[in-house]
Structure 1
C-alpha cells in the first residue's frame, strides 16, 4: 500500500511518460488495486475462516480496496500535475473487486507467498 501511495501521490512531473498502449493508465490502476485487494482482503483471517460470508473479508476489502482507491484519487487533485479522474476511480474499484474475487477463489496462493 505504501508503494501504491507513493506512485499515485508523486507529483506528475517526477513520473516519466511511457506510453506503450491505449488505456495504459487504467490498466495500471486496475492491476495495482487488484493486487492490493488480493493481498489485503485476508488480513487477520485464518485459512479455515475464508468464505464469502465472513464479514472481516468484506471490511478489509472496503477499507483497503474501495476506500484507498477513492482516497488516493481524491488526494491527487491536490498534487501538482496530477488530477482527479472518475474513470481512474472506477478502474480502482473494478481492480479491487477482481482482487477480492480472486482471493475468495484462490486464497491458497496468498498463503504460499507467506
Structure 2
C-alpha cells in the first residue's frame, strides 16, 4: 500500500512540476506557492521513508530510511526544481528548492512521529 501511494504521489509531483504552462491561477495568499511545495515534498518524504522498512525495527535515521530520505526528501526536491530551468514557462527558484528541502525534513520527522499502523501504511 505504502509503495503504491508513494509512486503515485511521486508521479503527481513530477507531472505538476515539469508541465509547461503559463496559465497557472493567481495565488490566494502571499506564500501559497511555498506552502504547496512544503506539503508536496513533506508528503513525498513521509511516504518514501517507510518504503521497504519494517517500522517496528527502525530505531533512528539510518539504513533504508536514510537512503529513502536522501533520494526522495532531498535529491527529488533539488532535481525537480532544477529541471524547471528546461521547461517552457517554468522557472528555477532557490527559495522553492529550500522549501522543498524543509518539506522533506518535515516528512522525515512525521514518519517517526505519526503512527501509521492503523491506516495501513506499515
TM-score for both structures, normalised by structure 1: 0.90
Between the two proteins, the alignment pairs up a number of residues equal to 112
Q: 1:95 to 1:51 in 2, by over 3 A?
A: same
> Corresponding residue for 1:2?
11
- How far does residue 112 in structure 1 lie from its aligned partner after superposition? 1.4
Structure 1: gaps spanning 5 or more residues: none
Q: 1:110 to 1:2 in 2, by over 3 A?
A: farther
**Is 1:89–2:97 an aligned residue pair?**
yes
CA distance in 1, matches of 2:75, 2:12: 16
Partner deviation per Cα, 1:62-107 (whole Å, 9 max, x = no partner): 001110000000100000010111000000000000000010122x
Structure 2: gaps spanning 5 or more residues: 1-9
CA distance in 2, matches of 1:60, 1:111: 22
**Is 1:109–2:113 an aligned residue pair?**
no
**Is 1:65–2:76 an aligned residue pair?**
no
Moved over 2 A (4+): 108-111
CA RMSD of aligned residues (A): 1.5
SS at match of 1:12: coil
